[in-house]
Amino acid sequence: MQRHPQILNRAHTALLVVDVQTRLTRAVRNGQAMVAEIVKLVRGFRILGLPVFVTEQYPKGLGHTEPGILEALGRRSAVVKATFSCCGAPGLVSDIRSRGIRQVLVSGTEAHVCVQQTALDLLSRDFQVQLAVDAVASRKELDYRTALDRMARSGVILTSVESALFELLEVSGTAEFKQVAALIK
């Protein structure tokens, strides 16, 4: 079946979780709700066997990735970066490219700093970038809204956690569908 090019495709999609660290989560608006949505994404991507990349900005000062996210990942620590954009993290973009990824679903903090700079830099590297708006946060509502607007006007596709997961599933009635549907309830 022919699909619209903006629909996420399992064959070449990855999830990028940007700087969802303990001290940042406490500072942003709706931080725990954001973490819960990211955990759904991570678990959904694991069910579907899709790659998940996680970054941390200055963990010495901001803490490490939220424990619930690491637990959902079932693995190690994140890629540590000094640049606000994840594209400056050593080896991250080349790792994403080496897996044949063309669509990157972005989540994390803060919408107007690291998330926005990452999304724009990924666009400049010819990735299609989608942003799960319910899995992104900032400290101030104005910064969050301004960032969403700027990213959308720049070519980032706004979506939601549930929408993204169902696009990746494509069909109902499978074992994967049942597992992902249970996450969303």
Establish whether 19 is a catalytic residue: yes
Indicate which residue of 81, 86, 87, 121 is catalytic.
81
Indicate which residue of 86, 87, 114, 143 is catalytic.
114
Q: How far apart are CA 4 and CA 159, in angstroms?
A: 15
Q: How far apart are CA 14 and CA 54, in angstroms?
A: 11
Measuring CA to CA, how many Å separate 56 from each of 109, 110, 158, 170? 10, 12, 23, 31
Establish whether 140 is a catalytic residue: no
Indicate which residue of 19, 121, 134, 143 is catalytic.
19
Q: What is the dihedral of CA 133, 136, 140, 146, to 10 degrees?
A: -50
Establish whether 81 is a catalytic residue: yes
Q: How far apart are CA 130 and CA 160, in angstroms?
A: 9
Q: How far apart are CA 83 and CA 58, in angstroms?
A: 9
Q: Catalytic amino acids?
A: 19, 81, 114
